[in-house]
Amino acid sequence: MLEKAIQGSRIYWGWVVILLGLIGIGFLFYLTQYFEGLKVTGMSRDVSWGFYIAQLTYLVGVAASGVMVVLPFYLHDYKAFGRITILGEFVAIAAVVMCMLFVVVDLGKPMRGLNIMLYPRPNSILFWDFLVLSTYMLLNLVIGWNVLSSERKGIHYPGWVKPLIYISIPWAFSIHTVTAFLYSGLPGRHYWLTAILAARFLASAFCSGPALLILLCMIVRKFTRFDPGTKQMGTLAIIVTYAMILNVFFFFLEVFTAFYSQIPSHMVHFQFLFAGYEGYGRLVPWMWTAAFFALVSLILLINPTTRKNEGTMMVGCVAVVIATWIDKGLGLLIGGFTPNTFERVTDYWPTLTEFMISVMVWAIGLFVLTILFKVAISVKEEVEGVR
């Protein structure tokens, strides 16, 4: 089936070449980081995790969201999603690839990365994170590939795939819970030391991932002969809506606890993010932009008229992606480390090198996604052409 990836229109090849170009440019920036060390990034002794790990966190969410398509179809026989489960699974694979790459580019000694496997430490959440992410990627790859090739041959997928599918459903929840556990068990970081962090992560994942999937479906419909389906996108939009409501609600719960208790260590991080702290307020406009887009998304998605209208639904989905990305991709990490444990602020902003390396990883992920989607769509076009 992989041969489908090397047959394509000029637009397809143009897109692939652009991605490869971005990967190449980003790689040059990565070389500077490899030889100079991580000092080429904006991270510091106080903000020791930054843009890379933030992207990892966001993308684990996107990866987990594959379950929102798989669960209704395989557990509850929602036949309509049969058209797009493969798309959800392939998005998950691309997202996990990006997650793992973001870890690699963030490591101080990436050549020692395999030490995690050579000297396993069940005490460490990072060990489990590595384990569950790799397994999740394999699960989705095996399941997706087998289901797709069976579909191509016009037969039912082999029986041994079924238990894997059933495992992948709780596994998807687990990958993002484990990622949340990276943060929510650290005693000195009060922005993260909250039980609801895992729940908030999952809610944020289940609105951002399906929103991205809807947007991808629209792109697929425009550029290929395969139509994922209006009904499918409509149901996904409902999932996005409820998940976004939960996401915003959980956020307000946190705000209440912090500000009603008036405990400084809880409040300072919100103050830094939304109002500035001791003169440092670089993230303030970003966070309020996120809030604005969150509001826009809720208005557009809750109202059935605007949700059913594809134009406004698309705007709503874009707003969800922007809002959740700022929240997880900027606010979570920087806000967690600022102010530091001494109640001091060290400014952080990604450098150009850091950004370009991130672009490289995003381009690699999009490249994987493009290849996988090309295969899936081509197979589906072929099957539908025959039928």
Partner 1 sequence: MGIKRRDFLRLAGLSTLIGLAGKTSFKWLAPGQVEASIKEAPLTAGTKWGMVVDMTKMDEHVMDKCIQACHRTHNVPKIENPKHEIKWIWKEAYEHTFPGQHHDYAAEEYEHRDFLLLCNHCTNPPCCRVCPTKATWKREQDGIVMMDQHRCIGCRFCMAACPYGVRSFNWGDPRKADETLNPDFPTNPEYPTRAVGVVEKCNFCAERLAKGQYPACVEAANEIKKGALTFGDLDAPDSEVRELLHEHYTIIRKPELGTGPNIYYIV
Footprint of partner 1 on this chain (CB under 8 A)? 36-39, 43-46, 48-49, 103, 106-110, 112-113, 115-116, 118-119, 121, 123-127, 130, 182, 185-189, 265, 337, 340-344, 346
Contacts (Cβ under 8 Å, ≥6 apart) of 310? 218, 230, 233
Q: Minimum CB separation from partner 1 for residue 291, in Å?
A: 26
CB-based contact 376:90 (threshold 8 Å):
yes
Q: How many CB atoms lie within 10 A of CB 165?
A: 22
- Closest to partner 1 by CB, 24 or 37: 37
| Cβ closest to partner 1, residue 55 vs residue 232 | 55
| Nearest distance in Å: CB 64, partner 1 | 21
β-partners of residue 277 are: 280
Q: Is the Cβ of residue 80 or residue 107 nearer to partner 1 in the bound state?
A: 107
Nearest-approach distance from CB 158 to partner 1, in angstroms? 14
Q: What is the chain's length? A: 387
3 versus 77: smaller Cβ distance to partner 1: 3
Q: Tell me how far, at minimum, the Cβ of 107 lies from partner 1, in Å.
A: 5
Q: Which is nearer to partner 1, 182 or 216 (CB)?
A: 182
CB of 120 to partner 1, least distance (A): 8
Nearest approach, Cβ of 127 to partner 1 (angstroms)? 5
Task: CB nearer to partner 1: give 103 or 369.
Answer: 103
- Give the angle subtended at the CA of 339 by the CAs of 334 and 345, to the nearest 5°: 95
Alpha-carbon distance of 95 to 316, in angstroms, equals 22
Q: What are phi and psi of 59, to 5 degrees?
A: -75, -30
Is the Cβ of residue 34 or residue 173 nearer to partner 1 in the bound state? 34
Least distance from partner 1 to the Cβ atom of residue 58, Å: 17
**Distance (Å) of CA 361 to CA 226, 308, 336:** 28, 34, 24
User: Which one, 16 or 47, has the nearer CB to partner 1?
Assistant: 47
Q: How far is the CB of 339 from partner 1 (least distance, A)?
A: 9
| Shortest distance, position 122 Cβ to partner 1, whole Å | 10
Q: Given the complex with partner 1, which of 190 and 200 has the nearer CB atom? A: 190
